[in-house]
Amino acid sequence: AQSVAQPEDQVNVAEGNPLTVKCTYSVSGNPYLFWYVQYPNRGLQFLLKYITGDNLVKGSYGFEAEFNKSQTSFHLKKPSALVSDSALYFCAVRVLYNFNKFYFGSGTKLNVKP
């Protein structure tokens, strides 16, 4: 079965500090991984994706994610957090046998304090 896990319900970080939001996956075959962000009462916004190639993927708003095949992880990172980064973050995986189906992790609430 395809699945993705976000082990932390909440991450707290001070503004200016680096942030990491964790994601691990379980898929059959090659993983196709995505990160989305959701601000209150809004839809999800795409941040970045890993399909193949370089393990470090750069995305929107200064975010990047590191794909680690041996640890089956795809952690989201940013070198210097902003208060405006406070939001709900979802990791998602594409299902191998049905490319139009995505599974989302449970979400991680990121709180960036001034």
Partner 1 sequence: DTEVTQTPKHLVMGMTNKKSLKCEQHMGHRAMYWYKQKAKKPPELMFVYSYEKLSINESVPSRFSPECPNSSLLNLHLHALQPEDSALYLCASSQDNSGGTRSYNEQFFGPGTRLTVL
| Contact residues for partner 1, defined by CB under 8 A | 32, 34, 36, 41-46, 49, 51, 88, 90, 94, 98-102, 104-107, 109
Residue whose tokens read 């976000």: 6
The minimum distance between CB 16 and partner 1, in angstroms, equals: 27
- For partner 1, the closer of residues 9 and 114 by Cβ is 9
The minimum distance between CB 97 and partner 1, in angstroms, equals: 10
The minimum distance between CB 26 and partner 1, in angstroms, equals: 16
Q: DSSP E strands: which ranges in the chain?
A: 3-5, 10-14, 19-21, 24-26, 33-38, 44-50, 56-58, 64-68, 73-78, 87-95, 98-104, 108-113
- For partner 1, the closer of residues 69 and 80 by Cβ is 69
The answer to whether 99 touches 1, Cβ cutoff 8 Å, is no
The minimum distance between CB 103 and partner 1, in angstroms, equals: 8
- For partner 1, the closer of residues 43 and 114 by Cβ is 43
Q: DSSP E strands: which ranges in 39-81?
A: 44-50, 56-58, 64-68, 73-78
